[in-house]
Amino acid sequence: MIKGLIFDLDGVITDTAEYHFLAWKSLAEKIGIEIDREFNEQLKGISRMESLELILKHGGKEEAYTEAEKEELATQKNEEYKTYIKEITPDDLLPGVDTLLKEAKEKNLGMVLASASKNGPAIMESLEIMDLFDGIVDPASLKAGKPDPEIFVKGADMLNLKPEECVGLEDAEAGIESINAAHMFSVGVGSRDAMKEADYAVESTADLDLDTILEKANQD
């Protein structure tokens, strides 16, 4: 019996991917590396430092900076990103998400955010949805990022539920892998090809229907 929903943030609840792209592109340009939207797809769902390592590798500069300098570069990117997310309002909830969250609350389903973003709490405050959630997994507490299942297992723990009693919702391939490894029912948002490993997938958040998700997950 499904009793909890565990959400990724970017691409599921809101879309700050564009802001991440602009901030990474700006940083990359400052250090003489060009990145485009296609390359940016690789940065979805992974941590800030992992993203920076991929950018440095892409530009052939993985050995050019000390760890301390890399930390400083990542901080610069985050500061620019934070100026963008200050503009977020409840209008930035993705289509259908407001209804989904409110229906889940009405059904007394537990809800937790499981995002690699350390800015998750600030974004949720701006979206005015913090009161609908029972908790946020602190990404700083994790030993391993997605596709490791730890973040989703911790999400279930926060609700005092087993992973099998929860549904995980994701838009990144690494995230779906993470949910599946946690032995949780996985719901994917995105193209059929990218979400082929999900237990159930829709192309847009507008297609997320709580009754359908619960029916499919409870049959699993």
pLDDT in tens, the chain (220 residues): 999 999 999 899 999 888 999 999 999 999 999 999 999 988 877 889 999 999 999 999 999 999 999 999 999 999 999 999 989 999 999 999 999 999 999 999 999 999 988 889 999 999 999 999 999 999 989 999 889 999 999 999 999 999 999 999 999 999 999 999 999 999 999 999 999 999 999 999 999 999 999 999 999 7
pLDDT of the residue at 49? 93
Instruction: Answer for the pair 123, 9: CB distance below 8 angstroms, yes or no.
Output: yes
Q: How far is CA 217 from CA 4, 53, 129, in A?
A: 11, 37, 24
Annotation-wise, does 78 bind a ligand?
A: no
Question: Domain 16-86 in CATH: superfamily?
Answer: Putative phosphatase; domain 2 (1.10.150.240)
Q: Tell the CATH topology of 4-14+93-218.
A: Rossmann fold (3.40.50)
Compute φ and ψ for 186, nearest 5 degrees. -105, 130
Q: How far is CA 34 from CA 28, 54, 79, in A?
A: 6, 12, 20
- Give the pTM: 0.83
Q: Is 8 a catalytic residue?
A: yes
Annotation-wise, does 25 bind a ligand?
A: no
Annotation-wise, does 199 bind a ligand?
A: no
Q: Under the phi-then-psi rule, with left for phi > 0, alpha for psi from -120 to 50, and beta for the rest, what region is 68?
A: alpha
pLDDT of the residue at 220? 79
Neighbours of 48 (CB within 10 A): 22
Annotation-wise, does 88 bind a ligand?
A: no
Q: Which residues contact 24 (CB under 8 A, 6 or more apart)?
A: 35, 40, 43, 51, 55, 77
